[in-house]
Amino acid sequence: MKRSYLIKPMLDEDYPIIDFGKGVYLYDIEFKEYLDASSGAVTANIGHGVKEIITAMKKQAKKVSFIYRSQFTSEPAEQLAEKIAELAGGDLNWSFFVNSGSEATETAMKIAIQYWQEKGLKTKTKILSRWVSYHGITLGALSMSGHAARRERFTPLLEDFPTIHPPYCYRCPFNQTAPECGYSCAQELETAIRRIGADHIAAFIAEPVIGAAGGAISPPEDYYQLIKEICDRHQILFIADEVMTGFGRTGTMLACEHWGVTPDIVALGKGMGAGYAPIAAALVSDRVMEPIRSGSKMVMSGHTLSANPQSCAVSLAVINYLEQNNIMNLVSEKSAYLFKKLQKLKYQFPFIGDVRGLGLLIGMEFVQDHNTKTPFPRAAAFTQKVIKTAMKYGLLLYPAGAGIDGIHGDAIIISPPLTITNEEMDELIQRLTKTCQELYDSLQ
């Protein structure tokens, strides 16, 4: 094993050293080409090496890279907050900038609790969430996450927030079918609220499309409208974790727009800086800010690098690039093109159980046989085999959990940069077909 002082995800594995990136491709120091079909971790939304972003980075770096938010504000931070308010719609007008998705969900959680405190309701501190969910790795964010593998080691330090089942139609936890089911998975929120007591609950948090924990599980049509209605009726805030789905990934600024739902608070991340700089945000509605503005007049959170001008300038440049190249509007067309080809693969290879998702956030769940939906045994580590085989063919895929507990199942996410062309999608499919064929042969 090569000696290295860098703590990598798997300490005993060698990782290729990437030299440069261009569009949807990355190249390592041995000139091997990788088609980035996952945008890294669903992050490089506009692809690699975009010169407009690099120009904006240089321009801001020459002016000033850092100022401390308790002492100054900056033009990029002010402009970014204004632009996001315009794009997010509704009354989601306030941005709190942070540096990662975990910080964004954790800030959202704190703002929700503070909101009720400012209104004199100090017992409303619990955040409800779902099993098969991921909201981040820091302890507050992990407390909200129904991701058993990531919680396990730290269980004694975590709050026991995750409560209800996900809207996972492929493996419905209630053995029902939408829409005839009447959305038992959403009704379960009502039951949980009655059991715990609305007086103790600040908010309910959910990913519009479940990412890392479930493999792009998209909900049935009316699910989020029902969730929002239940939250409103019980005076519970709805936090949409759009860290993965926001900033155009599903073809709209926020995925919640697909169902006509405006959350009370939104967490944004990943695509905000598109990998060019660390930046994320808690986006807060006028309604939620009002008692804070007229009460303590400060949000009790913050990080040294919050709202740094360098990251804000990058995010502004990403928005400009998305707008000038009409990128969000083209997502549904590209998604339809890719879905059709991925569905075809499902009929070619019996171990592809489900192809699902929204926009260019697509999940593929693997099973021993698609007629029985039986998952592979854990020991088979099938997802890892898919990832490694794809890597051999120069294709990057994102591993995800799956199964009703988010552990006993196998899935990947296919989420190329939104800028991908039809020819590049054909190339993606070719490399994926080779991957599937090799896996299929190995199972015979």
User: Which positions touch ligand PLP (CB under 6 A)?
Assistant: 41, 100-102, 105, 134-137, 207, 211-212, 241, 243-244, 269
Can you name the residues that pair with 240 across neighbouring β-strands?
Answer: 206, 266
Q: How far is the CB of 331 from ligand PLP (least distance, A)?
A: 18
CB 382 within 8 A of CB 388: no
Question: From the centroid of its chain, how far is CA 442?
Answer: 32
Q: Which is nearer to ligand PLP, 37 or 429 (CB)?
A: 37
DSSP 195-242: HH-GGGEEEEEE-SSB-TTTTSBPPPTTHHHHHHHHHHHTT-EEEEE-
**Which residues have a Cβ under 8 Å from the Cβ of 273 and sit 6 or more positions away?**
279, 280, 311, 314, 315, 318
**Residue type at position 23:** G
Pair of tokens at residue 139 = 């302890």
Q: Which is nearer to ligand PLP, 47 or 214 (CB)?
A: 214
CB 276 within 8 A of CB 57: yes
CB 223 within 8 A of CB 167: yes
Q: How far is the CB of 248 from ligand PLP (least distance, A)?
A: 15
Q: Which is nearer to ligand PLP, 136 or 140 (CB)?
A: 136
Instruction: Give the CB-nearest residue to ligand PLP.
Output: 101
Q: Which is nearer to ligand PLP, 114 or 245 (CB)?
A: 245
Q: How far is the CB of 213 from ligand PLP (least distance, A)?
A: 8
Q: Which is nearer to ligand PLP, 165 or 270 (CB)?
A: 270
Three-state SS for 64? coil
Determine the Cα–Cα distance for residues 388 and 385; give it in Å rounded to an integer: 5
Q: How far is the CB of 244 from ligand PLP (least distance, A)?
A: 4
Q: How far is the CB of 361 from ligand PLP (least distance, A)?
A: 10
Three-state SS for 24? coil
Q: How far is the CB of 337 from ligand PLP (least distance, A)?
A: 25
Q: Which is nearer to ligand PLP, 211 or 309 (CB)?
A: 211
Q: Which is nearer to ligand PLP, 80 or 429 (CB)?
A: 80
Q: How far is the CB of 104 from ligand PLP (least distance, A)?
A: 7
Indicate the helix (H) or strand (E) that contains 381.
Answer: none
Q: How far is the CB of 436 from ligand PLP (least distance, A)?
A: 25
How far is residue 214 from each of residues 53, 75, 428, measured CA to CA in Å?
A: 32, 39, 22
Q: How far is the CB of 160 from ligand PLP (least distance, A)?
A: 19
Q: Which is nearer to ligand PLP, 169 or 244 (CB)?
A: 244
Indicate the helix (H) or strand (E) that contains 289.
Answer: helix 286-294
- What's the chain's Rg over C-alpha atoms? 21
Determine the Cα–Cα distance for residues 178 and 370; give it in Å rounded to an integer: 20
CA diameter of the chain:
67
Q: How far is the CB of 101 from ligand PLP (least distance, A)?
A: 2
Q: Which is nearer to ligand PLP, 135 or 165 (CB)?
A: 135
The secondary structure of residue 299, as a DSSP letter, is: -
**Which residues have a Cβ under 8 Å from the Cβ of 202 and sit 6 or more positions away?**
109, 112, 113, 115, 116, 124, 125, 126, 127, 236, 237
CB 270 within 8 A of CB 99: no
Q: How far is the CB of 280 from ligand PLP (least distance, A)?
A: 6
Q: Which is nearer to ligand PLP, 48 or 135 (CB)?
A: 135
Q: Cα-Cα-Cα-Cα dihedral of 133, 268, 126, 357, to 10°? A: -30
Q: Which is nearer to ligand PLP, 282 or 317 (CB)?
A: 282
